[in-house]
Amino acid sequence: MALGALIGAYQEDDEGGLRALLPLAGRTLIEYQARCLAAAGTVPLTVLVERVPPALNEAFERLRGEGIAVVPVSDGNEAASRFEAGSQLILLADGMAPDMGDLELLLEEGDGAVITVPDDEAHDGFERIDAQHRWAGLAKVDANMLGATAAMLGDWDLQSTLLRRAIQAGARLIPSNSGEGRGPFLASGAEAMAGYERRLLVASRTAREDAVSRYLLPVVEEIATERLMETGLRPAWLVQAALAMTFAAAFCFTRGWHWAALALLLLSTPFDRVAQRLAMLRLQPLSPSMPSRRMLWPAAGLALLALGWFEMRHGAGWGAMLAALAGTSFAEAGRIERGGRDIPGSQWHFSRRNAIWLAAPLAVGGWWNLYLTLLAIYAATSFFIIQHFRHSVEPVNSP
């Protein structure tokens, strides 16, 4: 039976607007909440709101454009009618940005559970449960309890009343995830949201697996991610742009436009990382099997072969093409041999970004043939180092 969700969206922020419409990562809090619940597999997503202002309706339309169906309801009885009798649903408090770890804990529970935070100064805005606990804004309740609560509600607040009844019925209290950058966030105003947005931006950082990403591109990546997260740009478009630029660079190499090709390649290097972070911020991670993402590696190999082919035809002889072929072959062999394993010093091993940026200092002197030679040596050395660590560390099964 599908697990549904009920999100509150009727309380006002410090400035008199709906908390649900506070800005977050270029969208609104309600969109972030819906993405969190959709990522957890909850269906349907029901939003309890007294009236739907134009800005909230626009947020709903954007979510539907992403394939996330959101149904607004105006009271508890209408909300209860959206869920199957006897089913479980996730209750998400109005103005609460949930911690995904907390949500995963809740999904693992059977019937009736409430995520809590300590009753301390850091959580004084959270709803108090007892002398030791406050509500972290997430609970799993029975749909029948929602219907019964709505029927007897009167002027009481549905969210708070449903929480109290769930606790009285024996719902298990589960402590929220704690630690740096973890735990739920209760929105109060735009200024507080800016701080949480920064927290999300930091949390979106992923391991920088090559030297260029680690030492040359972090500032570019941070600035680009911060600027682009406020736009409607789709992360997949950035990956597709990087792929198109790489193919364009290959064409430029065949025409002898080496500087144009190098510029395209250098500019393309942060695109896939920025796309990955934007996708994480929007809780829609890019699939490793995404065609344009998988094509970046062979497209870079094609650009290298195009450079070798041009140099071979314009004075360098067959050695240039041989070096390009050797470089691409060893690079692919190293990628297969590594197979996603963690190898010591891996940031210095051959990678697409490292190979591209290696060309920059050599291009200044026009030493393209030297670049091809060094790249072949670099790829071969990386391959043999990876092979050495793999076969020296992994035990060999005896027959």
In tens, the pLDDT along 260-284 reads 999 999 999 999 999 999 998 888 8
Q: Using one digit for the tens of pLDDT, what is the confidence trace for 320-352?
A: 999 999 999 999 999 999 887 788 888 999 999
User: How many percent of the chain have pLDDT more than 90?
Assistant: 59
Instruction: Identify the CATH number of the domain defined by range 4-186.
Output: 3.90.550.10
Q: What is the mean pLDDT of residues 100-125?
A: 89
Q: Which residue has the tokens 């190293």?
A: 334
- Domain(s) labelled CATH 1.20.120.1760 in the chain stretch across 210-393
For 210-393, CATH gives 1.20.120.1760
**What is the C-alpha end-to-end distance of the chain, expressed in Å?**
49
Q: Please provide the average confidence, as pLDDT, over all residues in the chain.
A: 89
Angle at 216 between CA 268 and CA 220, to 5 degrees: 60
| pLDDT of res. 396 | 47
Label residue 222 by pLDDT band (50, 70, 90).
very high
Residues 4, 44 contacting (CB under 8 angstroms): yes
Average confidence (pLDDT) over 222-232: 89
In the predicted structure, residue 27 carries a pLDDT above the cut 60: yes
For the segment 77-97, the average pLDDT, to the nearest whole number, is 90
pLDDT of residue 326: 97
Res. 180 pLDDT band, cuts 50 70 90 = low
Torsion, Cα 371 373 379 380, to 10 degrees, reads -170
Give 44's pLDDT tier (boundaries 50, 70, 90): confident
Q: pTM of the full predicted structure?
A: 0.81
Are the CB atoms for 20 and 60 separated by under 8 Å? no
CA–CA gap between residue 230 and residue 320 (Å, rounded): 45
Q: Is it the case that residue 239 has pLDDT exceeding 80?
A: yes
Residues forming CATH 3.90.550.10 domain(s) in the chain: 4-186
> Is pLDDT above 50 for 399?
no
- The amino acid sitting at 389 is F
Closest of 91, 143, 145 to residue 114, by C-alpha: 91
The residue that leads in pLDDT, 216 or 154, is 216
Q: Is 138 exposed, middle or buried (0-12, 13-18, 19+ CB in 10 A)?
A: buried
For residue 86, give both structure tokens: 């006897």
Per-residue confidence (pLDDT) for residue 393, from 0 to 100: 57
Residue 241: helix, strand or coil by DSSP? helix
Q: pLDDT band at residue 398, thresholds of 50, 70 and 90?
A: very low
Between the alpha carbon of residue 286 and those of residues 35, 227, 283, 297, 309, the distances in Å are 15, 19, 9, 16, 34
